[in-house]
Structures are given as structure tokens and as C-alpha cells.
């Protein structure tokens, strides 16, 4: 298994022009997994109020230890790209242009790796939140990854596809439900669903990790003797989620279930020493879990 961290610099400049578009930087990690390759693609970042992290007073000293003292956080968004020579798989697709101006940058990141939308054979969703799903359609409500099969866990699909979800979800997430419903209605005939434990593609197994959303899925990828775990938002940050995994997270729709899932998952990942790819983890999102005292810490791969 080989890790490479790199910074990809891409700029747009007309030859001989007096002005140019701003240079953009996309941080990415690469993990060689047997004969396959995993890249993380930056979709930009979110800007979230601190309530999406935690409202527990016990969180404050942990946050301060990580230098987080302001009223908001700006988590990165890392889309996972898996290529095994046959399949080119995106795990989630980013936020698209309609969620936050700081996100929705996946197309620039793909261009930096010289991967075109038509090259993608499969789009696999961890869950239906905007920063993971909303980038699936273009301005004409056509699938951006038009050659790809689209896949989502059945429980997750059924939850967001239900027109009543917008009436039962909390007020702060009603736009999440409306946006997911519109996109999944458009894609309905093109989405295959799957259950916990299914091998959805050769070497890729679905793992139910609920709490963040009702049917949230993570994925264990194996190629040769190597493996890695795509966590989605089952582990949503590199500070509280590791240092206090049993603490309720404001980003989880079911905080108690989310904490239970997180505690069990971190124990498994630390025991198995399996590399992880986290959607909102720093420095490209590729690292591993280590035990620290009675909790854990996130270690980015060098």
C-alpha cells in the first residue's frame, strides 16, 4: 500500500492575455490499493455554525485544543475516486452549485486528474445530504455522469424519496429533504439500491453505518491483500468524533444512534489498522485511527 500526498495546481490563462482567471489549488491524496488506486478530490469546503458540531459544554476544551474557538467551522469536502482498471467509481459527487459558494468544485478537481465525467462508470452515494448528492445533476437536470450507473443504499433512498420526509425532518434540514427528493425523482429509473453487507462491485462491500442519516452507508474496499474504508459522514470530523466519539454530534439526524455507530466503527478501524477515507477529514481525508487513552485520534497519512 502506498500513499502520496500532493498539491495539484491548476490555472486558466489565455496565451498572451493580460489578465487571467485566479489560480486554484486542489489538495488531494492518493492511496495505491493492490492493483487499484484511490484519489481524493477536493469539492471545496463548507461553512457551518458551531451547533452542527456540538452544543455540549464538554466539547469546548477539546475544540480549543484543536484551535477551534470561533462561531463556525469550515470542514473540507473530499470526494473519493476509485479506479481498478475496469471500474471508475465516485463515492458521492459533492455539492454542486446550489448549496454553498465554497463547495461544488469537483469538476475542477477531476480536470486536474484528467478524469472526464464520461469516464465514470459508477456513482455510489453514502447518503443524501446536499454536500454528497446535489452535484449529481447539471443545470438542465440531466445526470452529469451520464455513462455511470448510480447506486444508493435502499433504506437511504427510500427515506429521501418519500415525499413526507420534508414534513417530518427538523426545520433546519427541510431544504435538504426537498433537494434530495428532486434529484432522486429525476434519477429514480437510473438508481440501483442495495443492502447492508452486499458486494456492490468487485471488492466493494456496503456497510450500514446509520445515525448521521437513517440509511447512511460506508464502504469497505479490498484489492489484493490491501483494504481501505470509505467512512462518508459516519466519522464527520477529526476532533470530537475521535476524542469524544460517544458525544452527540449536531450534524447527526439521530445523535444517539450516530454516536453508537461511531464508537463501534472507531473500535473496529483502530483494531484492524485499516486506512480510512473521510469526507470531512483534513489534508485530503486519507489516514488511520489510533487509540489514545480511552478514546482515539486521527492520523493523516504522510
pLDDT band at 105 (very low <50, low <70, confident <90, very high): very high
pLDDT band at 29 (very low <50, low <70, confident <90, very high): confident
pLDDT band at 23 (very low <50, low <70, confident <90, very high): very low
The share of the chain scoring above pLDDT 70, in percent, equals: 91
Structure confidence by residue, pLDDT tens digits, 51-99: 999 989 999 999 999 999 999 999 999 999 999 999 999 999 999 999 9
Segment among 15-29, 175-189, 252-266, 276-290 with least mean pLDDT: 15-29
Q: What was the pLDDT predicted at 27?
A: 52
pLDDT band at 5 (very low <50, low <70, confident <90, very high): very low
Check residues 2 and 137 and name the one with the higher pLDDT. 137
pLDDT band at 12 (very low <50, low <70, confident <90, very high): very low
Structure confidence by residue, pLDDT tens digits, 174-211: 999 999 999 999 999 999 999 999 999 999 999 999 99
Mean pLDDT of 153-165: 98
- CATH class in words for 31-300: alpha beta
Q: What was the pLDDT predicted at 28?
A: 73
Domain definitions of the chain by residue range:
31-300
Contact assessment for residue 72 and residue 49, using Cβ atoms and an 8 Å cutoff: yes
Closest CA to 231 of 40, 4, 43: 40
pLDDT band at 13 (very low <50, low <70, confident <90, very high): very low
Q: What was the pLDDT predicted at 19?
A: 29
For every residue of the chain, DSSP letters joined together read -EEEEEEEEE----TT-S--PPPEEEEEEEEEETTEEEEEEEEEE--EEGGGT---TTHHHHHHHTT--SSEE--EEEEEEEE-SS-EEEE----GGGS-TTB--HHHHHHHTT--GGG--EEEES--SHHHHGGGB-TTS-BSSTTSEEEEEHHHHHHHH-TTHHHHS-GGGHHHHHHHHHHHHHHGGGEEEE-TT-EEETTEEEEE--SSSTT-EEEEEEETTEEEEEEETSS--SSHHHHSTTS--TT-SSHHHHHHHHHHHHHHHHHHT--EEETT-STTSEEEEEEETTEEEEEE--
pLDDT exceeds cutoff 60 at 249: yes
pLDDT exceeds cutoff 70 at 6: no
Q: Is the pTM of this model over 0.95?
A: no
Amino acid at each position: 500500500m502506498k500513499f502520496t500526498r500532493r498539491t495539484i495546481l491548476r490555472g486558466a490563462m489565455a496565451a498572451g492575455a493580460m489578465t487571467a482567471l485566479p489560480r486554484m489549488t486542489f489538495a488531494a491524496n492518493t492511496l495505491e490499493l493492490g492493483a487499484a488506486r484511490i484519489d481524493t478530490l477536493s469539492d471545496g469546503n463548507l461553512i457551518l455554525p458551531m451547533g452542527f458540531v456540538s452544543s455540549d459544554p464538554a466539547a469546548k476544551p477539546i475544540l480549543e485544543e484543536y484551535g477551534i474557538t470561533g462561531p463556525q467551522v469550515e470542514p473540507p469536502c473530499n470526494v473519493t475516486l476509485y479506479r481498478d482498471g475496469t471500474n471508475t467509481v465516485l463515492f458521492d459527487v459533492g455539492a454542486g452549485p446550489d448549496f454553498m459558494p465554497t463547495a461544488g468544485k469537483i469538476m475542477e478537481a477531476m480536470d486536474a486528474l484528467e478524469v472526464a465525467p464520461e469516464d465514470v462508470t459508477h456513482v455510489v452515494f453514502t447518503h443524501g445530504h446536499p454536500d454528497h448528492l446535489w452535484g449529481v445533476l447539471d443545470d438542465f437536470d440531466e445526470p452529469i455522469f451520464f455513462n455511470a450507473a448510480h447506486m444508493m443504499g435502499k433504506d437511504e433512498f427510500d427515506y429521501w424519496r418519500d415525499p413526507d420526509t420534508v414534513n417530518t425532518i427538523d426545520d433546519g434540514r427541510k431544504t435538504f429533504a426537498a433537494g434530495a427528493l428532486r434529484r432522486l425523482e429525476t434519477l429514480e429509473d437510473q438508481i440501483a439500491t442495495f443492502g447492508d453487507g452486499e458486494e456492490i462491485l468487485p471488492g466493494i462491500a456496503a456497510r450500514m453505518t446509520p445515525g448521521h442519516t437513517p440509511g447512511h452507508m460506508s464502504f469497505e474496499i479490498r484489492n489484493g491483500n490491501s483494504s481501505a474504508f470509505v467512512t462518508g459522514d459516519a466519522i464527520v470530523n477529526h476532533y470530537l468524533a475521535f476524542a469524544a466519539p460517544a458525544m452527540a454530534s449536531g450534524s447527526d439526524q439521530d445523535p444517539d444512534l450516530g454516536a453508537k455507530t461511531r464508537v463501534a466503527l472507531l473500535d473496529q478501524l483502530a483494531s484492524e489498522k485499516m486506512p480510512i477515507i473521510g469526507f470531512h477529514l483534513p489534508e485530503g481525508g486519507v489516514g488511520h485511527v489510533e487509540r489514545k487513552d480511552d478514546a482515539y485520534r486521527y492520523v493523516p497519512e504522510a
